[in-house]
């Protein structure tokens, strides 16, 4: 059984050993695996499987292949991320590009699964290519393709591994060498300098001054206790109909999240044609949220390329501009204490022709100021829709903001935008119709 995965897609895995091989054209890569618990973090530093610690918990590394004996993986491990990092010490490529973006092949029983991620082109030096994960008592593989510009050390730190600074000139693609039982080496503390001999007391020149009693000497102040280190950022990719919550202190000054629509055009032909997508944010302020059991109302608050919004006043939502070719558009949302719901949608210009949003490589990434992010991919190949509702951002949850994968499409060639209601429900194809003119960027 041969399966080719698109980014964000998944496939079931049969029981037994699974081999994941990573390859890169024209670049030397190091391959490793991270064993992650339900919180998306390692249980300890030993959960990084790499060249200096090649086996842990049923997972082992041989050259560029990770073999996972799924039956032997501890129950406390929920996901196994398979990672490629550039070996910059070997010379040659110093960041991934379209040619060197790593690809994966998975062999598990009779299943043969391949994944070629979209090109990494933003200075990435390490990438989480695929992950094996448990779902309802069985194992699956998910195509991830998420890059880090901070090398293996930065990627590992984000998952909770303690990695020491390798020092100037060292390759960022791998942690420093370590003995087999651990993933990190901490140098011994330097010997304290030898104490200088005490200086001779000065010769008295007159009547000695009276010394205060011992009780008059104030006690030394205790050393201040440093504040706890902030948690490492999390990077989550949602499954179909999945959700995740980012921690957020809504009343903290400067609290904000960003929502970015990313797309690469999907093909050279579409990129030449423009592949013009637009990000829309439909919102319900907190004071207009309808309580359960009461009649909801439609909202007309929308931020998009013709109404860029504002961060200085309501709606405290602003779009950075209109990208008329494949790239990204970003909406910033401040004053989370005043927000209720934000529905993130994308519109495909009529001039794009026929093609699914997924075929354009579209996805939404929601990020909080601390660096944690939730990626919301698309799974449907529906090709005759001009609108897609991708993610619901819910600011009403306690202690954070919840991002949900909602993925719904307008009817065949329907240009009316979605309508969001004050109880967070929404309907496709019921809002106003607005055509984007060719001179503007369609």
Write out pLDDT tens, residues 39-90: 888 999 899 999 889 999 999 999 899 999 999 999 999 999 999 999 866 5
pLDDT score recorded for residue 69: 94
387 — phi, psi (to 5°)? -130, 145
**Coil, strand or helix: which one is 86?**
strand
Rounded CA-CA distance 230/221 in Å is: 26
Q: What is the average pLDDT across 409-437? A: 89
Q: Which two tokens stand for residue 279?
A: 């990000």
pLDDT score recorded for residue 218: 59
Instruction: Give yes or no for a contact between 408 and 428, defined as CB atoms under 8 angstroms apart.
Output: yes
**337 burial level (CB within 10 Å; 0-12, 13-18, 19+):** middle
The number of C-alpha atoms within 13 Å of 404 and in the hemisphere containing its C-beta is: 15
Specify the range with the lowest mean pLDDT, choosing from 285-289, 337-341, 411-415: 411-415
Q: How sure is the predictor about 335, in pLDDT bands with cuts at 50, 70 and 90?
A: very high
Instruction: Give yes or no for a contact between 331 and 279, defined as CB atoms under 8 angstroms apart.
Output: yes
Whether the full predicted model's pTM is greater than 0.95, yes or no, is: no
pLDDT, one tens digit per residue, over 224-249 is 666 655 567 888 999 989 999 999 88
Q: CA dist 53 to 176, 183, 254, Å?
A: 12, 7, 42
Contacts of 180 (CB under 8 A, 6+ apart): 52, 53, 54
Rounded CA-CA distance 136/83 in Å is: 25
The residue that leads in pLDDT, 293 or 210, is: 293
Classify the phi-psi angles of 86: left when phi > 0, otherwise alpha if psi is within -120 to 50, otherwise beta: beta
Q: Is the pLDDT of residue 190 over 90?
A: no
pLDDT, one tens digit per residue, over 90-127 is 566 788 998 899 999 999 988 899 999 999 988 899 99
Rounded CA-CA distance 408/422 in Å is: 18
Q: Considering all CA atoms of the chain, what is the largest pairwise distance in Å, rounded to the nearest integer?
A: 105
Question: If you write DSSP's letter for every residue of 196-237 in order, what string do you get?
Answer: PPPPPPPPP-SSPPPPPPGGGSPPPPPPPPPPPPPPPP-EEE
């Amino acid at each position: 059984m041969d399966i080719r995965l698109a980014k964000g897609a998944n496939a079931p895995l049969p029981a037994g050993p699974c081999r994941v091989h990573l390859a890169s054209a024209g670049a030397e890569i190091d391959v490793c695996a991270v064993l992650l618990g339900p919180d998306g973090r390692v249980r300890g530093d030993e959960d990084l499987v790499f060249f200096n610690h090649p086996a842990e918990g049923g997972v082992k590394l041989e050259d560029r292949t990770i073999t996972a004996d799924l039956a032997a993986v501890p129950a406390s491990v929920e996901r196994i991320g398979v990672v490629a990092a550039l070996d910059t010490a070997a010379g040659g490529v110093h960041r991934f590009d379209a040619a060197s973006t790593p690809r994966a092949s998975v062999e598990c029983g009779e299943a043969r699964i391949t994944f070629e991620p979209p090109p990494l082109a933003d200075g990435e030096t390490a990438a989480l290519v695929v992950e094996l994960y448990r779902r309802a008592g069985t194992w699956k593989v998910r195509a991830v393709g998420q890059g880090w510009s901070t090398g293996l050390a930065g990627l590992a730190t984000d998952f909770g591994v303690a990695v020491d600074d390798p020092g100037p000139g060292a390759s960022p693609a791998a942690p420093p060498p370590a003995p087999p039982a651990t993933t990190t080496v901490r140098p011994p503390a330097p010997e304290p300098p030898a104490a200088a001999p005490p200086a001779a007391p000065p010769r008295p020149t007159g009547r000695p001054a009276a010394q205060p009693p011992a009780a008059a000497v104030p006690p030394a102040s205790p050393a201040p206790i440093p504040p706890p280190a902030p948690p490492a950022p999390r990077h989550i990719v949602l499954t179909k109909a999945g959700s995740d919550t980012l921690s957020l202190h809504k009343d903290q000054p400067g609290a904000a999240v960003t929502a970015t629509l990313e797309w690469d055009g999907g093909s050279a032909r579409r990129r030449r044609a423009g592949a013009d997508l637009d990000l829309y944010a439909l919102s319900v302020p907190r004071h207009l949220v309808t309580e359960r059991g009461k009649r909801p109302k439609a909202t007309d608050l929308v931020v998009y390329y013709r109404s860029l919004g504002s961060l200085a006043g309501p709606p405290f939502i602003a779009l950075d501009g209109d990208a008329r070719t494949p790239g990204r558009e970003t909406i910033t949302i401040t004053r989370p204490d005043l927000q209720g719901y934000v529905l993130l949608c994308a519109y495909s210009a009529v001039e794009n022709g026929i093609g699914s949003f997924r075929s354009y490589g579209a996805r939404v990434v929601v990020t909080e100021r601390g660096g944690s992010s939730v990626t919301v991919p698309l799974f449907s190949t529906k090709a005759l829709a001009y609108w897609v509702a991708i993610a619901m951002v819910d600011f009403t949850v306690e202690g954070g903001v919840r991002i949900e994968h909602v993925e719904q499409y307008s009817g065949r060639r329907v240009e009316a935008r979605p309508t969001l209601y004050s109880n967070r429900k929404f309907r496709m194809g019921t809002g106003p119709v607005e055509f984007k003119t060719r001179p503007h960027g369609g």
